Chain A
């Protein structure tokens, strides 16, 4: 158990719909990262938040957005869903210690999104 929790574990929805995925980081971790994992794409970095602010952005579609709340949990919002958005979505957290250029990331169990 990494200490990172994600809900829901599974989500089935229809094209055009909007969903929200939730992540709670490990206690004390300030950074949250979101990744998408499709069958043929590997782990694709979407976005990072640090202490409530967006820190880095990867290959995140404009239909997707995220935020990190004062209690440090994060939500990933996916809208106007398409069939190709079906994937595993992982959240990871890290402590982001001062002076360290890279912190080890600890992953949650993921949310499996199926768009029909």
Chain B
């Protein structure tokens, strides 16, 4: 079945550092979404991408829709402690299934 693989699985970084993570799919997507989940909370939508090559920013976050349409990237600049959480990518439904990525856990060390 459809699988969205995220890497890295986890990251430990110093406050102020930039962060990069990515998500890859085994098939072509026409939508990519990035969510963040704080511990014990529901995922919150960060950025939505609808066009191959699209680059979209939301504050210190920037996401890109890969030109192959099989991947997407999320960058966080100048990380702060509240960036801690799990970041998920998600794509459009395939055969009436909705898929989320495996997640990247981010820890920011003050």
Contacts and interface: CB of A to CB of B under 8 A. Distances in A.
Interface in B34-70: 35, 40-45, 48
Interface in A67-116: 90, 92, 101-102, 104-110, 112
Say what secondary structure dominates the interface of chain A: strand
A24 B76 CA distance: 32
B96 A105 contact: no
Interface string A39-78: 0001101001000000111100000000000000000000
Which range holds the interface residue count of chain B? Answer: 20 to 34
Contacts of B30: 101-102
A2 interface: yes
Contacts of B100: 35, 42-43, 45
B92 A101 contact: yes
Overall SS of chain B's interface? loop
Contacts of A33: 98
B97 interface: yes
Given A57-B96, A109-B41, A101 B31 contact: yes
Contact of A110 (B41, B92, B97, B98): B41
Contacts of B92: 101-102
Contacts of A110: 40-42
A104 B49 CA distance: 10
Contacts of A55: 96
A12 to B, nearest CB: 16
B102 interface: yes
Interface string A1-19: 0101000000000000000
Closest 9 CB pairs of A and B: A107-B42, A56-B96, A102-B92, A43-B100, A45-B98, A102-B31, A107-B43, A110-B42, A109-B42
